[in-house]
Structure 1
Protein backbone atom coordinates (compact mmCIF):
# COMPACT_ATOMS: atom_id res chain seq x y z
CA UNK A 1 0.00 0.00 0.00
CA UNK A 2 1.26 3.47 -0.87
CA UNK A 3 2.13 5.77 2.00
CA UNK A 4 -0.73 8.07 3.00
CA UNK A 5 -0.26 11.79 3.59
CA UNK A 6 -2.68 14.34 5.03
CA UNK A 7 -2.12 17.77 3.50
CA UNK A 8 -3.62 20.90 5.09
CA UNK A 9 -3.20 24.08 3.03
CA UNK A 10 -5.76 26.86 2.55
CA UNK A 11 -4.11 28.26 -0.60
CA UNK A 12 -5.92 26.25 -3.28
CA UNK A 13 -3.30 26.77 -6.00
CA UNK A 14 -0.41 25.79 -3.76
CA UNK A 15 -2.36 22.91 -2.25
CA UNK A 16 -3.21 21.47 -5.66
CA UNK A 17 0.42 21.83 -6.75
CA UNK A 18 1.71 20.02 -3.66
CA UNK A 19 -0.89 17.29 -3.99
CA UNK A 20 -0.01 16.69 -7.65
CA UNK A 21 3.69 16.57 -6.73
CA UNK A 22 3.14 14.00 -3.99
CA UNK A 23 0.78 11.85 -6.05
CA UNK A 24 3.33 11.84 -8.88
CA UNK A 25 5.87 10.71 -6.28
CA UNK A 26 3.75 7.64 -5.52
CA UNK A 27 1.90 8.81 -2.41
CA UNK A 28 -1.79 8.79 -1.55
CA UNK A 29 -2.86 12.27 -0.49
CA UNK A 30 -5.91 13.60 1.32
CA UNK A 31 -5.92 17.35 0.68
CA UNK A 32 -8.05 19.62 2.88
CA UNK A 33 -8.30 23.36 3.45
CA UNK A 34 -10.00 23.29 6.86
CA UNK A 35 -8.29 22.57 10.15
CA UNK A 36 -11.38 20.91 11.58
CA UNK A 37 -11.65 18.64 8.55
CA UNK A 38 -8.02 17.66 9.03
CA UNK A 39 -8.65 16.76 12.67
CA UNK A 40 -11.74 14.74 11.74
CA UNK A 41 -9.78 12.75 9.15
CA UNK A 42 -7.12 11.78 11.69
CA UNK A 43 -9.81 9.98 13.69
CA UNK A 44 -10.76 7.77 10.76
CA UNK A 45 -7.45 7.25 8.95
CA UNK A 46 -3.95 6.11 9.79
CA UNK A 47 -1.60 8.50 8.01
CA UNK A 48 2.14 8.11 7.55
CA UNK A 49 2.83 11.85 7.42
CA UNK A 50 1.13 15.20 8.02
CA UNK A 51 1.95 18.32 6.02
CA UNK A 52 0.34 21.35 7.66
CA UNK A 53 0.24 25.04 6.91
CA UNK A 54 0.21 27.12 10.09
CA UNK A 55 -1.96 30.13 9.30
CA UNK A 56 -5.29 28.35 8.72
CA UNK A 57 -8.46 30.44 9.27
CA UNK A 58 -10.49 28.08 11.46
CA UNK A 59 -7.83 26.28 13.52
CA UNK A 60 -4.15 27.21 13.73
CA UNK A 61 -1.89 24.45 12.37
CA UNK A 62 0.21 24.59 15.53
CA UNK A 63 -2.86 23.99 17.69
CA UNK A 64 -3.87 21.07 15.51
CA UNK A 65 -0.54 19.32 15.97
CA UNK A 66 -0.54 20.03 19.71
CA UNK A 67 -3.97 18.44 20.06
CA UNK A 68 -2.84 15.41 18.06
CA UNK A 69 0.25 14.98 20.21
CA UNK A 70 -1.88 15.30 23.35
CA UNK A 71 -3.99 12.45 21.96
CA UNK A 72 -0.81 10.33 21.61
CA UNK A 73 -0.72 10.71 17.82
CA UNK A 74 2.99 10.58 16.97
CA UNK A 75 2.59 10.72 13.18
CA UNK A 76 5.51 12.80 11.83
CA UNK A 77 4.54 16.29 10.71
CA UNK A 78 6.10 18.86 8.39
CA UNK A 79 5.03 22.49 8.58
CA UNK A 80 5.01 24.70 5.49
CA UNK A 81 4.51 28.38 6.25
CA UNK A 82 5.24 31.96 5.24
CA UNK A 83 5.51 32.74 8.96
CA UNK A 84 9.27 32.40 9.10
CA UNK A 85 10.21 34.31 12.25
CA UNK A 86 12.29 32.37 14.74
CA UNK A 87 9.54 32.40 17.37
CA UNK A 88 7.11 30.63 15.03
CA UNK A 89 9.70 28.09 13.93
CA UNK A 90 10.52 27.26 17.55
CA UNK A 91 6.82 26.91 18.35
CA UNK A 92 6.47 24.46 15.47
CA UNK A 93 9.20 22.20 16.82
CA UNK A 94 7.89 22.56 20.37
CA UNK A 95 4.51 21.37 19.09
CA UNK A 96 6.18 18.21 17.80
CA UNK A 97 7.09 18.97 14.18
CA UNK A 98 9.63 16.85 12.32
CA UNK A 99 10.58 19.68 9.96
CA UNK A 100 9.70 23.24 8.95
CA UNK A 101 9.81 24.47 5.36
CA UNK A 102 9.62 28.19 4.71
CA UNK A 103 7.46 29.55 1.90
CA UNK A 104 8.22 30.06 -0.89
CA UNK A 105 10.06 26.80 -1.44
CA UNK A 106 11.13 24.58 -4.31
CA UNK A 107 8.75 21.67 -4.78
CA UNK A 108 11.74 19.33 -5.01
CA UNK A 109 12.80 20.39 -1.51
CA UNK A 110 9.49 19.26 -0.05
CA UNK A 111 9.51 15.98 -1.96
CA UNK A 112 13.06 15.19 -0.83
CA UNK A 113 12.17 15.76 2.82
CA UNK A 114 8.99 13.71 2.52
CA UNK A 115 10.90 10.86 0.87
CA UNK A 116 13.62 10.91 3.51
CA UNK A 117 11.18 10.82 6.40
CA UNK A 118 9.03 8.06 4.97
CA UNK A 119 12.07 6.01 3.99
CA UNK A 120 13.00 5.96 7.68
CA UNK A 121 9.80 4.08 8.39
CA UNK A 122 10.89 1.35 5.97
CA UNK A 123 14.19 0.72 7.75
CA UNK A 124 14.85 -1.49 10.76
CA UNK A 125 12.80 -0.70 13.87
CA UNK A 126 14.40 -1.58 17.20
CA UNK A 127 12.15 -2.18 20.21
CA UNK A 128 13.69 -3.73 23.33
CA UNK A 129 15.18 -7.07 22.19
CA UNK A 130 13.25 -7.02 18.90
CA UNK A 131 14.48 -6.01 15.45
CA UNK A 132 11.77 -5.56 12.83
CA UNK A 133 12.29 -5.01 9.11
CA UNK A 134 9.03 -3.57 7.69
CA UNK A 135 9.77 -4.12 4.01
CA UNK A 136 10.45 -7.82 4.44
CA UNK A 137 8.02 -8.18 7.38
CA UNK A 138 10.89 -9.97 9.12
CA UNK A 139 11.11 -10.08 12.91
CA UNK A 140 14.10 -11.04 15.04
CA UNK A 141 14.10 -11.57 18.80
CA UNK A 142 17.53 -11.75 20.37
CA UNK A 143 18.82 -12.08 16.78
CA UNK A 144 16.68 -15.18 16.17
CA UNK A 145 13.96 -15.23 13.51
CA UNK A 146 10.43 -15.51 14.90
CA UNK A 147 7.09 -15.84 13.11
CA UNK A 148 3.80 -14.25 14.12
CA UNK A 149 1.64 -15.28 11.19
CA UNK A 150 0.34 -12.94 8.51
CA UNK A 151 -2.46 -11.17 10.40
CA UNK A 152 -0.59 -10.82 13.69
CA UNK A 153 2.36 -9.40 11.75
CA UNK A 154 0.12 -6.74 10.18
CA UNK A 155 -1.16 -5.77 13.63
CA UNK A 156 2.36 -5.83 15.09
CA UNK A 157 3.56 -3.60 12.23
CA UNK A 158 0.83 -1.07 13.02
CA UNK A 159 1.84 -0.91 16.69
CA UNK A 160 5.55 -0.53 15.95
CA UNK A 161 4.85 2.39 13.62
CA UNK A 162 2.67 4.02 16.29
CA UNK A 163 4.55 3.44 19.54
CA UNK A 164 3.04 5.51 22.33
CA UNK A 165 -0.28 6.11 20.54
CA UNK A 166 -3.59 4.49 21.44
CA UNK A 167 -4.88 2.59 18.40
CA UNK A 168 -8.63 2.10 18.27
CA UNK A 169 -10.25 -1.21 17.40
CA UNK A 170 -11.47 -0.06 13.99
CA UNK A 171 -7.90 0.64 12.88
CA UNK A 172 -6.82 -2.80 14.08
CA UNK A 173 -9.78 -4.48 12.39
CA UNK A 174 -8.48 -3.15 9.05
CA UNK A 175 -5.52 -5.52 9.45
CA UNK A 176 -7.78 -8.56 9.82
CA UNK A 177 -9.57 -10.79 7.34
CA UNK A 178 -12.35 -11.67 9.80
CA UNK A 179 -12.42 -8.82 12.31
CA UNK A 180 -14.08 -9.13 15.68
CA UNK A 181 -13.28 -8.61 19.38
CA UNK A 182 -12.43 -12.26 20.08
CA UNK A 183 -10.15 -12.54 17.06
CA UNK A 184 -8.46 -9.27 18.00
CA UNK A 185 -7.82 -10.45 21.56
CA UNK A 186 -6.32 -13.66 20.15
CA UNK A 187 -3.88 -11.75 17.93
CA UNK A 188 -2.88 -9.32 20.71
CA UNK A 189 -2.25 -12.27 23.04
CA UNK A 190 -0.31 -14.06 20.30
CA UNK A 191 1.91 -11.05 19.70
CA UNK A 192 2.58 -10.49 23.41
CA UNK A 193 3.41 -14.16 23.99
CA UNK A 194 5.79 -14.59 21.05
CA UNK A 195 7.57 -11.23 21.27
CA UNK A 196 7.62 -10.70 25.02
CA UNK A 197 6.23 -7.17 24.67
CA UNK A 198 3.10 -5.86 26.38
CA UNK A 199 0.37 -4.34 24.23
CA UNK A 200 -2.02 -2.87 26.78
CA UNK A 201 -5.79 -2.55 26.57
CA UNK A 202 -6.97 1.00 27.32
CA UNK A 203 -10.59 0.46 28.26
CA UNK A 204 -13.01 2.24 25.96
CA UNK A 205 -10.24 3.61 23.72
CA UNK A 206 -8.21 0.79 22.19
CA UNK A 207 -4.71 -0.64 22.63
CA UNK A 208 -1.26 0.87 23.09
CA UNK A 209 2.36 -0.22 22.81
CA UNK A 210 4.19 2.13 25.15
CA UNK A 211 7.63 3.63 24.62
CA UNK A 212 10.39 1.21 25.62
Structure 2
Protein backbone atom coordinates (compact mmCIF):
# COMPACT_ATOMS: atom_id res chain seq x y z
CA UNK A 1 0.00 0.00 0.00
CA UNK A 2 1.36 3.41 -0.97
CA UNK A 3 0.50 6.67 0.82
CA UNK A 4 1.18 10.25 -0.30
CA UNK A 5 1.79 12.57 2.66
CA UNK A 6 1.83 16.32 1.96
CA UNK A 7 2.93 18.19 5.09
CA UNK A 8 5.36 21.10 5.38
CA UNK A 9 5.98 20.74 9.14
CA UNK A 10 9.11 18.61 8.91
CA UNK A 11 9.02 17.20 12.42
CA UNK A 12 5.40 16.07 12.08
CA UNK A 13 6.00 14.80 8.56
CA UNK A 14 8.95 12.66 9.68
CA UNK A 15 7.01 11.27 12.66
CA UNK A 16 3.94 10.34 10.61
CA UNK A 17 6.03 8.85 7.79
CA UNK A 18 8.08 6.79 10.24
CA UNK A 19 5.02 5.32 11.98
CA UNK A 20 3.17 4.54 8.74
CA UNK A 21 6.32 2.98 7.26
CA UNK A 22 6.64 0.79 10.36
CA UNK A 23 3.04 -0.34 9.72
CA UNK A 24 4.06 -1.55 6.28
CA UNK A 25 3.00 1.36 4.06
CA UNK A 26 5.23 2.84 1.39
CA UNK A 27 5.34 6.60 1.98
CA UNK A 28 6.07 9.42 -0.46
CA UNK A 29 6.42 12.84 1.18
CA UNK A 30 5.63 16.18 -0.47
CA UNK A 31 6.71 19.43 1.19
CA UNK A 32 4.02 21.53 -0.50
CA UNK A 33 0.78 21.23 -2.45
CA UNK A 34 2.37 21.70 -5.85
CA UNK A 35 4.71 18.76 -5.29
CA UNK A 36 1.74 16.68 -4.13
CA UNK A 37 -0.07 17.40 -7.41
CA UNK A 38 3.04 16.41 -9.38
CA UNK A 39 3.49 13.14 -7.49
CA UNK A 40 -0.20 12.22 -7.79
CA UNK A 41 0.12 12.55 -11.56
CA UNK A 42 3.21 10.34 -11.67
CA UNK A 43 2.29 7.52 -9.29
CA UNK A 44 -0.74 5.66 -8.01
CA UNK A 45 -1.66 5.81 -4.32
CA UNK A 46 -4.06 3.98 -2.05
CA UNK A 47 -4.63 7.07 0.10
CA UNK A 48 -3.37 10.67 0.31
CA UNK A 49 -2.99 12.83 3.43
CA UNK A 50 -2.80 16.60 2.90
CA UNK A 51 -2.21 19.43 5.33
CA UNK A 52 -4.39 22.42 4.42
CA UNK A 53 -1.86 25.17 5.17
CA UNK A 54 1.21 24.62 2.97
CA UNK A 55 3.55 26.89 0.99
CA UNK A 56 3.57 27.27 -2.81
CA UNK A 57 0.10 25.70 -3.07
CA UNK A 58 -2.23 24.93 -0.18
CA UNK A 59 -3.87 21.54 0.35
CA UNK A 60 -7.31 22.67 -0.80
CA UNK A 61 -6.08 23.89 -4.19
CA UNK A 62 -3.89 20.80 -4.58
CA UNK A 63 -6.91 18.59 -3.93
CA UNK A 64 -9.05 20.55 -6.39
CA UNK A 65 -6.48 20.07 -9.14
CA UNK A 66 -6.12 16.37 -8.38
CA UNK A 67 -9.88 15.83 -8.48
CA UNK A 68 -10.15 17.82 -11.73
CA UNK A 69 -7.65 15.39 -13.29
CA UNK A 70 -10.07 12.55 -12.56
CA UNK A 71 -8.11 11.06 -9.65
CA UNK A 72 -10.52 9.61 -7.05
CA UNK A 73 -7.93 8.37 -4.54
CA UNK A 74 -9.22 8.79 -0.96
CA UNK A 75 -7.89 11.96 0.72
CA UNK A 76 -7.67 12.91 4.40
CA UNK A 77 -7.18 16.61 5.14
CA UNK A 78 -5.20 17.81 8.15
CA UNK A 79 -6.07 21.21 9.61
CA UNK A 80 -4.91 23.26 12.58
CA UNK A 81 -8.30 24.95 12.63
CA UNK A 82 -11.49 23.50 14.06
CA UNK A 83 -14.00 25.87 12.44
CA UNK A 84 -16.84 24.19 10.57
CA UNK A 85 -16.20 26.39 7.50
CA UNK A 86 -12.68 24.97 7.07
CA UNK A 87 -13.96 21.41 7.25
CA UNK A 88 -16.76 22.17 4.79
CA UNK A 89 -14.31 23.78 2.34
CA UNK A 90 -12.12 20.69 2.40
CA UNK A 91 -15.02 18.29 1.94
CA UNK A 92 -16.45 20.39 -0.89
CA UNK A 93 -13.07 20.29 -2.63
CA UNK A 94 -13.24 16.50 -2.66
CA UNK A 95 -11.78 15.36 0.66
CA UNK A 96 -13.10 12.10 2.10
CA UNK A 97 -12.20 12.76 5.74
CA UNK A 98 -10.36 15.26 7.94
CA UNK A 99 -8.40 15.42 11.20
CA UNK A 100 -7.81 18.46 13.37
CA UNK A 101 -4.30 19.01 14.73
CA UNK A 102 -3.03 17.87 17.14
CA UNK A 103 -4.08 14.30 16.43
CA UNK A 104 -3.03 10.81 17.44
CA UNK A 105 -1.14 9.05 14.65
CA UNK A 106 -2.97 5.84 15.61
CA UNK A 107 -6.25 7.56 14.73
CA UNK A 108 -4.84 8.75 11.39
CA UNK A 109 -3.74 5.17 10.63
CA UNK A 110 -7.21 3.86 11.50
CA UNK A 111 -8.86 6.40 9.19
CA UNK A 112 -6.46 5.49 6.38
CA UNK A 113 -7.35 1.80 6.78
CA UNK A 114 -11.05 2.63 6.76
CA UNK A 115 -10.84 4.74 3.60
CA UNK A 116 -8.77 2.14 1.77
CA UNK A 117 -11.31 -0.58 2.63
CA UNK A 118 -14.17 1.64 1.52
CA UNK A 119 -12.43 2.54 -1.74
CA UNK A 120 -11.58 -1.09 -2.51
CA UNK A 121 -15.18 -2.14 -1.99
CA UNK A 122 -16.61 0.47 -4.39
CA UNK A 123 -16.16 0.11 -8.12
CA UNK A 124 -18.22 1.94 -10.76
CA UNK A 125 -20.04 -0.56 -12.95
CA UNK A 126 -18.66 0.91 -16.17
CA UNK A 127 -15.32 2.73 -16.51
CA UNK A 128 -13.59 3.93 -19.64
CA UNK A 129 -10.40 5.22 -21.26
CA UNK A 130 -10.16 6.40 -24.85
CA UNK A 131 -12.74 4.49 -26.90
CA UNK A 132 -12.63 1.54 -24.51
CA UNK A 133 -15.21 0.80 -21.83
CA UNK A 134 -15.07 -1.91 -19.19
CA UNK A 135 -18.23 -3.28 -17.63
CA UNK A 136 -16.94 -4.68 -14.33
CA UNK A 137 -20.16 -6.54 -13.52
CA UNK A 138 -20.46 -8.22 -16.94
CA UNK A 139 -16.68 -8.66 -17.40
CA UNK A 140 -17.00 -7.12 -20.86
CA UNK A 141 -14.35 -5.08 -22.66
CA UNK A 142 -15.78 -2.99 -25.46
CA UNK A 143 -14.63 -0.57 -28.18
CA UNK A 144 -15.60 -1.15 -31.84
CA UNK A 145 -16.05 -4.82 -30.89
CA UNK A 146 -16.48 -6.51 -27.53
CA UNK A 147 -14.91 -9.46 -25.71
CA UNK A 148 -15.40 -11.20 -22.40
CA UNK A 149 -12.66 -11.14 -19.79
CA UNK A 150 -11.77 -13.51 -17.01
CA UNK A 151 -12.10 -12.21 -13.44
CA UNK A 152 -8.35 -11.57 -13.12
CA UNK A 153 -8.22 -9.91 -16.56
CA UNK A 154 -11.06 -7.63 -15.51
CA UNK A 155 -9.34 -6.69 -12.25
CA UNK A 156 -6.10 -5.90 -14.06
CA UNK A 157 -7.87 -3.88 -16.78
CA UNK A 158 -9.79 -2.00 -14.10
CA UNK A 159 -6.58 -0.97 -12.34
CA UNK A 160 -5.01 0.17 -15.59
CA UNK A 161 -8.05 2.24 -16.58
CA UNK A 162 -8.47 3.84 -13.15
CA UNK A 163 -4.79 4.81 -13.26
CA UNK A 164 -4.51 5.56 -16.99
CA UNK A 165 -1.38 7.51 -17.85
CA UNK A 166 0.36 6.49 -14.61
CA UNK A 167 3.08 3.88 -14.32
CA UNK A 168 2.26 0.79 -12.25
CA UNK A 169 4.97 -1.67 -11.30
CA UNK A 170 4.53 -5.42 -11.63
CA UNK A 171 4.77 -5.58 -7.85
CA UNK A 172 1.92 -3.12 -7.36
CA UNK A 173 -0.33 -5.01 -9.77
CA UNK A 174 0.53 -8.35 -8.19
CA UNK A 175 -0.16 -6.99 -4.69
CA UNK A 176 -3.58 -5.72 -5.73
CA UNK A 177 -4.78 -8.77 -7.66
CA UNK A 178 -2.84 -11.86 -6.60
CA UNK A 179 -1.79 -11.07 -3.02
CA UNK A 180 -3.90 -13.93 -1.61
CA UNK A 181 -2.63 -16.48 -4.15
CA UNK A 182 0.46 -17.69 -2.29
CA UNK A 183 1.42 -20.26 -4.93
CA UNK A 184 1.24 -17.79 -7.85
CA UNK A 185 4.56 -16.31 -9.06
CA UNK A 186 4.86 -12.57 -9.78
CA UNK A 187 5.55 -13.42 -13.43
CA UNK A 188 1.81 -13.97 -13.85
CA UNK A 189 1.45 -10.20 -14.26
CA UNK A 190 3.32 -10.22 -17.58
CA UNK A 191 1.24 -13.14 -18.83
CA UNK A 192 -2.00 -11.25 -18.13
CA UNK A 193 -0.61 -8.04 -19.65
CA UNK A 194 -0.08 -10.02 -22.86
CA UNK A 195 -3.63 -11.40 -22.68
CA UNK A 196 -5.05 -7.90 -22.33
CA UNK A 197 -2.94 -6.50 -25.16
CA UNK A 198 -4.38 -9.15 -27.48
CA UNK A 199 -7.92 -8.38 -26.37
CA UNK A 200 -7.43 -4.62 -26.79
CA UNK A 201 -6.35 -5.29 -30.37
CA UNK A 202 -9.33 -7.59 -30.87
CA UNK A 203 -11.82 -4.85 -29.94
CA UNK A 204 -9.97 -2.22 -32.06
CA UNK A 205 -9.08 -0.12 -29.02
CA UNK A 206 -7.29 3.20 -29.42
CA UNK A 207 -5.44 2.56 -26.14
CA UNK A 208 -2.54 0.22 -25.46
CA UNK A 209 -0.53 -1.04 -22.51
CA UNK A 210 3.02 0.31 -22.46
CA UNK A 211 5.84 -1.57 -20.72
CA UNK A 212 8.21 -4.50 -21.06
CA UNK A 213 8.27 -7.84 -19.23
CA UNK A 214 9.54 -6.32 -15.97
CA UNK A 215 7.30 -3.24 -16.15
CA UNK A 216 6.36 -0.63 -15.18
CA UNK A 217 3.10 -0.65 -17.12
CA UNK A 218 0.84 2.18 -18.21
CA UNK A 219 -2.38 2.43 -20.21
CA UNK A 220 -2.18 5.21 -22.80
CA UNK A 221 -4.06 6.35 -25.88
CA UNK A 222 -2.14 5.54 -29.05
CA UNK A 223 -2.32 9.10 -30.37
CA UNK A 224 -0.51 10.31 -27.21
CA UNK A 225 2.49 8.03 -27.81
1:32-47 equivalence runs, <5 A: 32-47=30-45
CA separation of 1:148/1:192 partners in 2, compared to 1, >3 Å: closer, same or farther?
Answer: farther
1:126-141 equivalence runs, <5 A: 127=125, 141=138
**Which residue does 1:105 correspond to in 2?**
103
Q: How far does the alpha carbon of each residue in 1:97-137 deviate from its partner, in whole angstroms, 9 at most, with x for none?
A: 00010000111110110111112244474626xxxxxxxxx
Q: How far does the alpha carbon of each residue in 1:137-186 deviate from its partner, in whole angstroms, 9 at most, with x for none?
A: xx8649xxx75375664222343xx3xxx712x537966639x9x98653
1:91-102 equivalence runs, <5 A: 91-102=89-100
- Please, which of 79, 82, 103 is the counterpart of residue 80 of structure 2? 82
Q: How far does the alpha carbon of each residue in 1:60-118 deviate from its partner, in whole angstroms, 9 at most, with x for none?
A: 10000001111111111000110221111100000000001000011111011011111
Give, in whole Å, the separation in 2 of the partners of 1:13 and 1:23.
15
Please provide the CA RMSD for this pair. 3.6
* SS state at 1:64 partner: helix
**Which residue does 1:154 correspond to in 2?**
156
8 Å CA contact 2:3–2:45 kept in 1: the answer is yes
**Which residue does 2:17 correspond to in 1?**
19
Shift of 1:24: 1.6
Normalising by the residue count of structure 1, what TM-score does the alignment of the two structures yield?
0.68
Give, in whole Å, the separation in 2 of the partners of 1:122 and 1:93.
20
Structure 2: gaps spanning 5 or more residues: 127-135, 140-147, 174-188, 206-219
What is the total number of aligned residue pairs between the two structures? Answer: 178
**Which residue does 2:118 correspond to in 1?**
120
CA separation of 1:84/1:26 partners in 2, compared to 1, >3 Å: closer, same or farther?
Answer: same
Structure 1: gaps spanning 5 or more residues: 129-138, 194-200, 207-212
**Which residue does 1:177 correspond to in 2?**
190
